A and B are shown apart, each in its own frame.
Chain A
Amino acid sequence: MGPLSRDVWAQRLGAFRASPSAFMAGPEAEDLGRDLLGDLRSEKLSEQTKVSLLALSLEYPAQLWPDASAAEVAATSLLDTLVLLPPRPSALRRPLLLAATTALAVGGALGPTSGASCRLLPLLLGLAAGSDLGRGFVPASEQRPLQATACECLRELESCKPGLLGGSLGLLRGLLGQEGPVQPLSLLLSLALRNTLVLQSRAGAGLGALLTARVSPTGGGPWDWTLVEEGDGRLQPQAPSWPVAEEGEGEPSLTAREHSPEEARELRAAVAQLLDTSYLLTPVAQAQLLWLLGWALRGLQGQPPALFKPQLVRLLGTAQLTLLHAVLALKAAFGEALFTAQDETLLLRRLTLAAQHPALPLSTHLFYLHCLLSFPENCPLGPEGEEAAPLLLRPQLCRGLLPSLLHEPMALLARLHLLCLLCAEDEEEEEKSQLPSPGHYLEELLAGLWQRAALEGGPRALATLCFQASYLVARCLAGQPTVLTPLIHGLAQLYRARPMLAPHFVDLLDHVDPELREPLKVVLRQEVVSRPGRDEALCWHLQMLARVADGDAQSATLNFLRAVAAHCTSWDLQQGLLQVCRALLRAGVGGGLVDLLQVLARQLEDPDGCDHARLYYILLAHLAGPKLGVALGPSLAAPALASSLVAENQGFVAALMVQEAPALIRLSVGSHEVKGPLPVLQLLPEALEPIYSLELRFRVEGQLYAPLGAVHVPYLCPGRPARPLLLPLQPRCPAPTRLDVHALYTTSTGLTCHVHLPPLFVNFADLFLPFPKPPEGAGLGFFEELWDSCLPEGAESRVWCPLGPQGLEGLVSRHLEPFVVVAQPPTSYYVAIHLPPDSKLLLRLEAALAEGVPVALRTDDWAVLPLVGDYLRGLAAAV
């Protein structure tokens, strides 16, 4: 494909600029970078068009050549184009140099292995040195601009790869001393010097040698990458932010390495050389030089900052923003070493002056005001990083910086902040001066702001400003009742005048501290509820009340709601009304609210409103306070952006549904105790987290027992032993069984959880009950009577019961003690057991041997025989 015409390119560039991402997603994206490089050499395109192509490559190299290899190819091609230019003046040389530099730096291709880098760097250095590159490469008329451009390119490369020019310091110094262009060389040298200082403190390279070495720029030797590699390619801030530098994060200490006297002298000479000619630089460049050198020399041993002093007097008088800012940077870097207390006062004076000078634009004023409140003091008192009025800034000095209603919003807020800080100090010092007190001034200003925000039809910006000011005052002067009381009063008046500002009030309440919030809520609630009846502002009142209604002054709130309910005819008013009800529900208001909700559920015409009222009524009737709070609280389940209705429903789902949960409790069966007419299972619950309202439900497998009632525990806490729970069993036949257990409980977050616990086993012995005790001495007769009554319907059997080391006596006392009717220790025991519902089991344990005892047994229920056998045989093993 041949070169594109000028118009096609113009169209293409236009499309690209309109939206680079859309263009790059389109079909033409792939070829753009290649076409651009190719057409730069086309003879059909005008220089103007080519410059516009290069301009694009300067802005969007990452889109044109997205990776390092593409960038390398592009840079090579750009350099080739540069070399091939005919030896006459051309507008393309500068942009080509800039474009090649940009492509290498942005593509990440800059490095010792990159061919393009190895071509570009010596070329730039040669141009910067003004040396003859042969073959009429640079026409004489372009020599000087190209020299400056080469310096700029080198500076950018040094910024992106600190240490790159460490080996050329001596050369640059030499050039600056000769006829080289002052500004580009000064800036380049100061940056290279600074980076070298940082890096060589680690690398240990000799600074003196670097500063004095006079390498020929076209010496042809390979480029020296040592310092870059030492620096790890880590970027060096050219003007570090001062709090960070304080901590030394990412900023290796410059004091790490001491310089020899010669090195120190050489360094001082280089810095002095730069500063001496600094007045030849443009103001912005002077400022850059001061930032760089200031932070380069900061903390460097043997380098007194007095070098900067001659510059300061000249700079303090100027109105130039960059220069005063650079002075502040020097102040931050050197503090007392460069600025005495008198100097500090003078600097503050100049700043206050500049912050209000009628000849300067507003944005400059504002920046100076910020500088005043963040002023780098010699002896700061307050916490670092917080805005504060400098100690030496006396109220007298600030007289011209007081806010007034005529100021722009931003200026007003900035000045108001200063005023608040002065008020706070004034409170502390109680110092009486001739000036009207700042507090009084503040009060008047706020009154004016409120009055203005109350204007009917005024723009929202005014209201916003008023609330921002109120918030600022509340934040700065939180602890001062003399300020807060009028503030609350004024805001209440504002609400009375213009209820449509309710969203602003709600926002303010959301942001201020409780010190202001609580009393303001009370006052605003009174404002609303004292005006029941039909009102145009009803929707705002309801919105306000939804935020300020709580448990206090319930009856007034409810009266208001009852009074306005009839006027809530539209959907949004009804929703507003219900929002207030909801707020009351959350606050735990009961009584009167029930009636109101009932009325609303009947009265509201809109089905949605009706449903909501009914829902709230049901919730109120059925849920306990805390649970209600959770149910109506902000939903965790719903994403923040969902509509309030969705959020509300999801909130209910989360809060009111029973959730399946991992078991937070463990349940075990305790020792068997015989009490009362029914067998009772002793349960020991144990909680892993605090749980409330625990309900345990049991189900017996196979209808062997009558259904079991649930057991309730109000509160379980981990680590605190709970009282055993008694579960009475009502067997329908005397048989062991398994109990299925479900637990239902509420967590401390108010969620109701359900969990299926492992089953519990009811053993045969758990069912044993004793017969009523016969009178003293009648035991044998009683037993015999029972024994005889078992036959003929029942069954008789003999079982060998093995004995453990404890012998018969031990076995009986351990397992059968409550049921023994006749005892002749240690050899003979008659045992009578009542098996609910109405069976009996009689045991004769007689003539025990060492290893066991023969047991004669009778029962009226033959079905229990196998159970008894198992039981007796297992006794010895059961310890």
Chain B
Amino acid sequence: MAQRALWLISHEPGTPLRGTVRFSRRYPTVEKRARVFNRASYVPIPEDGPFLKALLFELRLLDDDKDFVESRDSCSRINKTSIYGLLVGGEELWPVVAFLKNDMIYACVPLVEQTLSPRPPLISVSGVSQGFELLYGIQDFLYSGQKNDNELNTKLSQLPDLLLQACPFGTVLDANLQNSLDNTNFASVTQPQKQPAWKPGTYKGKPQVSISITEKVKSMQYDKQGVADTWQVVGTVTCKCDLEGSMPNVTISLSLPTNGSPLQDILVHPCVTSLDSAILTSSSIDAMDDSAFSGPYKFPFTPPLESFNLCYYTSQVPVPPILGFYQMKEEEVQLRITINLKLHESVKNNFEFCEAHIPFFNRGPITHLEYKTSFGQLEVFREKSLLIWIIGQKFPKSMEISLSGTVTFGAKSHEKQPFDPICVGETAYLKKKVLHIAEVVVENFTVEVKFKPNSEA
């Protein structure tokens, strides 16, 4: 369940190496065990340079895929997980857990406590999930809060010390690096017994619980007979509990409004102590009927200090908040587009902001544009072949707005313009809701919070 090494690599397309190792850490005691366990199939951890090269090749980030390369493009090299075998010095280093997020590649090599040939199934390697969790933890730490390059560098420079706390010997003790940071700060406090390891200290002050619920709606609208539109809501309940005592018990209970759609696919934070079996089984896989569990959804838990995501859920709302119509016609050199948007009457017409993004794929830069809108302004990003229709904070009274116009494109030059394998010719999509409808969501629920101070505190 230990890690042999881990790396953070920034992906830098356009530079000679296409990337830089920003941080790496090796665990020699684990490496020693790997040599014993893996026996003849042991492959040592390479140095940063060769590792970087092999990983970028495997992740197809070297952008030199002009020619067919069997070791990468062969049909039999099927990778179905983010766990790779890297060819380094003629040998294959496996398993390498790696993923790319925000131009940063997170990678580690978990210890496999047996010989590697034949390869054991990944599910039986305990270090794989531990490795993922550690990398997710690092990712959260690096990108939590506002981020700019300076801040990222500061956080990267904190990593060696933090990992000395969170993962001193390659076995992860806490994937939440913020805890490790707080741990050093709380170090002087004498902790009472039974202090949870995920709670570095205790809160002193006015008790207060804040909850926010964020919902994102994903909708596919076909405007076609026989094909049903689809939409799904993905919700996150975020909590911050400032309560005294080392183990305060809190119960949050969510109730649906009348005729509200039930919550499904509920995943909870590990601090939730018990769950109703109806919550466990409520799933979007099942056909919807009246028997579906409709709450109240009770989540008893002992909160950590920091703000955390108490639960995630999905739901199927009866109608999408905005209905859209998007038409595109190719006329010789130019493209004629028509877009109509209609806000549903049940949605409160008041947002933080609302925009519609209109990307054009597989074409050159926008050279010419003529348009007419009934509402809002249009921003043009010529090089990116992108239009952004800024609608503002509310729809007009009619609840309907439209945009029409013609776009002309220049010659397609590679790399700069977006490529999409789906949006060819007159196929395109509209990312029309980058909008915050926080109020709408909160209205939908009744949130009830109960907590009692820990008796031991």
Contact = CB atoms under 8 A, between A and B. Distances in A.
Interface of A: 17-21, 51-52, 55, 58-62, 94-95, 98, 101-102, 105-106, 141-142, 144-145, 149, 152-153, 155-156, 159-160, 178-179, 181-184, 187, 235, 237-244, 250, 277, 279-288, 291, 313-326, 328-329, 332, 346, 349-350, 352-354, 357-364, 366-367, 369-371, 374-376, 385, 396-397, 399-400, 405-406, 410, 413-414, 417, 452, 455, 458-464, 467-468, 470-472, 503-504, 507-508, 511
B249 interface: no
A19 B47 contact: yes
B283 interface: yes
Given A55-B160, A467-B75, A105 B29 contact: yes
Given A235-B33, A461-B65, A284 B130 contact: yes
Interface in B179-210: 179, 183, 187-188, 190-191, 193-198
Contacts of A243: 120-121, 124
B174 A284 contact: yes
Contacts of B134: 284
A322 B133 contact: yes
A145 B190 CA distance: 11
Given A282-B174, A284-B174, A363-B132, A159 B29 contact: yes
Contact of A471 (B76, B125, B176): B76
Q: Interface SS of chain A: helix, strand, loop or mixed?
A: helix
Interface in B265-288: 265-270, 272-275, 279-281, 283-285
10 closest cross-chain pairs (CB), A and B: A237-B113, A319-B267, A359-B312, A363-B82, A503-B68, A183-B197, A239-B126, A241-B124, A325-B129, A471-B75
Given A94-B164, A410-B80, A319 B99 contact: no
A19 B75 CA distance: 35
B37 interface: yes
Contact of B187 (A141, A452, A462, A511): A141
A817 B267 CA distance: 109
Contacts of B372: none
Nearest to B64: A460
B169 interface: yes
A313 B300 CA distance: 13
B76 A288 contact: no
A357 B267 contact: yes
A279 B187 CA distance: 22
B174 A358 contact: no
A238 B80 contact: no
Given A238-B113, A346-B281, A410-B79, A149 B168 contact: yes
Contacts of B179: 282
B124 A237 contact: no
Contacts of A317: 266-268, 272, 275, 279-280
Q: Which of B81, B129, B191 has the most CB of A within 10 A?
A: B129
B149 to A, nearest CB: 21
A410 B173 contact: no
A463 B65 CA distance: 11
A145 B314 CA distance: 41
A136 to B, nearest CB: 17
B21 to A, nearest CB: 9
Q: Which of B66, B82, B187, B234 has the most CB of A within 10 A?
A: B82
Contacts of A471: 75-76, 78
A447 B128 CA distance: 35
Contact of A239 (B1, B73, B267): B1
B164 A325 contact: no
Contacts of A328: 123
Contacts of B33: 159-160, 235
Nearest to B66: A460
Given A279-B273, A363-B132, A364-B132, 12 more contacts: A101-B29, A106-B28, A141-B188, A156-B169, A281-B198, A283-B270, A286-B270, A287-B126, A352-B285, A367-B128, A458-B421, A459-B419
A511 B28 contact: no
A222 B72 CA distance: 57
Contact of B80 (A357, A405, A413): A413
Contact of A462 (B28, B99, B273, B421): B421
A282 B198 contact: yes
Contacts of A58: 28, 164
A621 B322 CA distance: 77
Contacts of A288: 1, 126, 130, 171
A94 B134 CA distance: 21
Interface string B63-98: 001101010111111111111000000000000010
Interface of B: 1-2, 25-29, 31-33, 36-37, 47-49, 60, 65-66, 68, 70, 72-83, 97, 99, 101, 112-114, 118, 120-126, 128-130, 132-134, 136, 160-161, 164, 168-169, 171-176, 179, 183, 187-188, 190-191, 193-198, 218, 232, 234, 236, 265-270, 272-275, 279-281, 283-285, 302, 312, 314, 419, 421-422, 424
B293 to A, nearest CB: 14
A400 B284 CA distance: 8
B173 A183 contact: yes
Contacts of A179: 193
Contacts of A322: 129-130, 132-133, 175
Nearest to A286: B270
A521 to B, nearest CB: 16
Contacts of B183: 145
A240 B125 CA distance: 8
Nearest to A143: B190
Contact of B285 (A283, A291, A361, A396): A396
Contact of B265 (A357, A464, A470): A357
Nearest to B419: A459
B123 A98 contact: no
Nearest to B283: A353
Contacts of B48: 17-19
A468 B75 contact: yes
A399 B164 CA distance: 44
B194 A182 contact: yes
Contacts of A325: 123, 126, 128-129
B122 A323 contact: no
A145 B187 contact: yes
A102 B25 CA distance: 14
Given A60-B28, A240-B113, A317-B279, A504 B132 contact: no
Contacts of B112: 241
Nearest to B167: A284
A400 B285 contact: yes
15 contacts: A106-B28, A160-B32, A239-B1, A240-B114, A241-B125, A281-B196, A282-B179, A314-B273, A318-B268, A319-B267, A362-B99, A397-B285, A410-B81, A413-B80, A504-B73
